Amino acid sequence: MNRSAEYKFCPVCGTPFIKRRLISHEPERLVCPSCDFILYLDPKLVACTIARTKNGIVLQQRNKSPKRGYWVLPGGFVDRGETLEQAAIREFYEETGLHTRIDSLIGTYSYPGQANIIIVFNSRITGGILRPCHESMSVAEFAVNRIPWDDLAFDTTKNALQTYVKKF
Ligand SMILES: [Zn+2]
């Protein structure tokens, strides 16, 4: 998807954008012909967590497309001004009801043409009560030998869990 097609107007002064290639080897940018504002379509950071209760690894079941009904790591977008670690802890709590403390980094995941860059942490659960949030169909705990490999939503989910299972 060409995300730049979604933005038509300069957010500073409201003038319609024009597309212009500013540097020969870089993509076309959305440029405001009135105030010279340039909209850079930066990546979006996503912080995810792998954490295990005594029953298993906590995964949530997506309630929206794409991949509705498939399983993902609890996580979400990092807010500007928030650290990656704060975002991972906040999102995990919002989506599962469980508090965590980060132990280590599992990996970082980025893909050509994709807006999202995903950071996955290995964390330990420090409290709370497991419950799904409104954004998921359910949350569940999976023993390492019961991970639903064929029903994981994304490459990152699979790759991070494979790394986790090998290392921990
Ligand atoms: Zn402008």
Three-state secondary structure of 77-118:
ECCCCCCHHHHHHHHHHHHHCEEEEEEEEEEEECCCCCCEEE
CATH of the domain at 22: 2.20.70.10
> Which pTM does this prediction carry?
0.88
Judgement on whether residues 48 and 100 belong to the same structural domain of the protein: yes
Q: Give the per-residue pLDDT at 4.
A: 47
> Are both 60 and 134 inside the same structural domain?
yes
CA of 42 to the centre of ligand 1 (A): 19
- Beta bridge partners, 64, equal none
Q: Are residues 13 and 48 in the same domain?
A: no
Shared-domain flag, residues 49 and 18: no
pLDDT at 133: 79
Ligand 1 centre distance from Cα of residue 117 (Å): 29
Burial state string for 94-109 with b = 16 or more CB within 10 A and e = fewer than 16 = ebbbbbbebeeebbeb
Are 69 and 139 found together in one domain?
A: yes
Q: How many whole angstroms from 14 Cα to the centroid of ligand 1? A: 6
**49 and 83 belong to one structural domain:** yes
Q: What is the distance in A from the centroid of ligand 1 to the CA of 82?
A: 28
Q: Cα(139)–Cα(84) distance, rounded to whole angstroms?
A: 22
**Looking at the 3D structure of the chain, how many domains does it have?**
2
How much is the pLDDT for 5?
55
How many angstroms is it from 73 CA to the middle of ligand 1?
39
- Does one domain contain both 35 and 52? no
Specify the pLDDT at position 1: 43
Residue 8 sits in the same domain as residue 56: no
Cα(36) to centroid of ligand 1, in Å? 6
Are residue 59 and residue 31 in the same domain, yes or no?
A: no
pLDDT for the residue 154 = 94
- Domain span at residue 84? 44-167
18 with 5, same domain: the answer is yes
Residues 17 and 59 both lie in one domain: no
CATH label of the domain that carries residue 144: 3.90.79.10
pLDDT per residue as tens, the chain (168 positions)? 445 458 999 999 999 999 999 999 998 999 999 999 999 989 999 999 999 999 999 999 999 899 999 999 999 999 999 999 999 999 999 999 999 999 999 999 999 989 999 999 999 999 999 988 777 789 999 999 999 999 999 999 999 999 999 988
